[in-house]
Every structure is written in C-alpha cells, then in structure tokens.
Amino acid sequence: MAKTWNGLETKEVMMTNQKWWGDYEGVGFPNLVASQQFDKEHLLTLFQLSKVLKRNVPKGTRQDWLKGCTCLNLFSEPSTRTRGSNEMSEGRLGAAKISFDNDQFSSAVKGESKTDAGLAWHAMEVDIIVMRHKDENAALDVARCLSHEENPPAVINGGDGKGQHPTQALLDLFTIFERFEKIDNLTIAMVGDLLRGRTVRSLAYMLSKFTGVKIIFVSSRFSKMGQDVKDYLNEHGVIWSETENLVEAARQSDVVYMTRPQLERERNLIKRWLMRRANRNLTMTKIIAEQMPMSSIIMHPFPRNEEIETDVDSNERAWYFWQMRNGVYIRMAIMLIIGNPTKAKELLAQAG
C-alpha cells in the first residue's frame, strides 16, 4: 500500500509530473547528490520557492506541510551550520527529525559501512536522509544502493570530503541572485583553498549554467582549483582565470567568495605549514574591501579562521551572515519539493 504524508500519495506517484532537478552518474531526483544535477531553470525555480517560503514561513512560525515525514540528519563529520539549518528547516515544515553526529555515530565506530547504514534507516522507514561523510561520493554511493529498494528515501549530500557540497552552493547562488536579481554576466572571485574546499567546487559547477559568468580563482600555488573543475568550465564555455593577487581580483569582481585553508584535509605537515603561510596573502581586510565596487558583496561559507578580518563585518559589502540565513530557506525549499511537491507547486502558482 502506498505510504502517505498528509493524505498525499507516495513520492513515486507525485513526482512523475515534474523533475525538479536532473541526474548525475545514474542517480537522479529526488536524490540531491551533486551540483551537476541542476540546470538554469531548475535553479531559478528553486530560488523562487525559497523567496515564497521566506514570506510564508518566517522566524517563529511553523507549517505542517511535511507532517508524517521523517528526516534523518546523519553527520559523520563535524557540522554546525549545515546540520543546524537542516534541523531548522525540517522543524519549520513540521517534519519529524532524527540527528546523529560524529560522537554518536556508534555504528560507524563498530565498522558499519555507509551503504549498510542507509539500508538500515530505510528499513526503519525514514523518508529523507541528509548525510555528511568524509568520503567523496558518499551520498552518491548510498543513493545508488538504495535505488534498488522499494520506495527508498531521498538522499541529500550535506558534504562529502573534498568532493562537493551542493546545498551550500544552492544557498550561495540564491544569495547572489537576491543581491543582483540575476547571475548572468557577473564576475565571481573564489579565494583561498580551492583545491580542498568542496563549496567552491560545487559553486563553480552551478555557475556554469548561466551566461556570461566569469570566474577568477585566487589561491596560492599549493591550493589551486582542481583540473576537473577547470575542464568542466571549459566544456561549458565559462571564462576563468587564475591569480595570487587578491587586491586586483577584488577590484574587478561582483562577488568575492572567501574560504578558509582546509588544513585538516592535508596530511603532509610541510604542505600544511606552507598553506598557512601562503594564506596570509589571501586575507580580506577593511582596506581591500573598500577598494571593491560599491555594489559588490563578500561571501564566506564559514567557519572562518583569519581570512576575513572581523572589522570587515561592519562593511556593507559583507553578506556572509545574510548568506547563512538563506541556508534555512533554500533547505526548506529542497525538503518541501522532495516531501510535498504538490504543496511546492501550489506555492509557486500562487506567487505567479
């Protein structure tokens, strides 16, 4: 018998009319495992729904649109903002939520594989799994495994090692869209540890869906963006360049996206020392911020170390705390699309 949430038919029936995003490596909607699953239309629709949810479910309010839906937040790597904003979005939409972090993830300590964990929670009838894992393609592997099961839960990638973080890229792009009311023809500088940072990888993939975008990769020689991302941008006709000069990049950019050095992902102690030393030249200061165009913004996925000085926080170009707030609404939109697409369509129709 078909499982129902709020009297609605099961996911498989409801989702035949619309694909809210596409496939990646044989895994598709409702799983969200990689940035490459989205095209421009998918993204703009998601942004529109996020705007509607901002108006309809503001702070201090709650809806029952996901009543009967159980969300599992399975984080085997540390997380603060991603886990917190997922729990907030699930709660505001009325879903039941279960959360485990690294210290509580005893089954992993006992040697359970990530795919067995997915199968176990499927047996306990969870509807959505948000997972963070140290292994690249972890969410993809679990989603692929569960695809052979009847009525499997949707799997959302909350960060997979040095691989991707698509929901972070979605909230980043939504923030840019809110600020400029477009993404086409913007110049975005990505600064810091581009080799090990998954947020910039996911953001670069999504930016390729828009016209006239230019990307400036700003990093030391120890932290350059991976060739796989550059090849992808070349295939999609995106103009990109590389530099170690933050000041020059900041002066010509609409968005400066700062990142911290991912020292925990580099085992070589000499390289870690060199990364830390090189990163001193990639610090956003008040002086550099004032040289940026007045309409430009500074972003950061956080946590920050020393790459943005705290006196930049008061600059009107600093948008990173607004960026964090958007994480709740973009994740609400994702959850609603997966758990109650009929309601998502209704809200979009009302918004016109």
Q: Is there a catalytic annotation at residue 81?
A: yes
CA distances (Å), 193 to each of 147, 306, 307, 318, 345, in order? 34, 13, 11, 20, 39
C-alpha to C-alpha distance for 288 and 319, rounded to whole angstroms: 15
Residue 16 and residue 187 in contact, taking contact as beta carbons nearer than 8 Å: no
Which candidate in 133, 165, 198, 201 is catalytic?
165
Q: Is there a catalytic annotation at residue 82?
A: yes
Q: Is there a catalytic annotation at residue 343?
A: no
Q: Rg for the chain (alpha carbons), in Å?
A: 20
Which candidate in 54, 67, 81, 214 is catalytic?
81
Which candidate in 70, 82, 187, 199 is catalytic?
82
The string over 127-147, giving b where at least 16 C-beta atoms fall within 10 Å of a residue's C-beta and e elsewhere, is: bbbbbbbeeebbbbbbbbbbe
Q: By C-alpha distance, which of 169, 151, 171 is closest to 15?
A: 151
Which candidate in 110, 148, 221, 267 is catalytic?
110
Which candidate in 132, 162, 198, 331 is catalytic?
132
C-alpha to C-alpha distance for 69 and 73, rounded to whole angstroms: 13
Q: Is there a catalytic annotation at residue 317?
A: no
Residues acting as catalytic residues: 81-82, 110, 132, 165
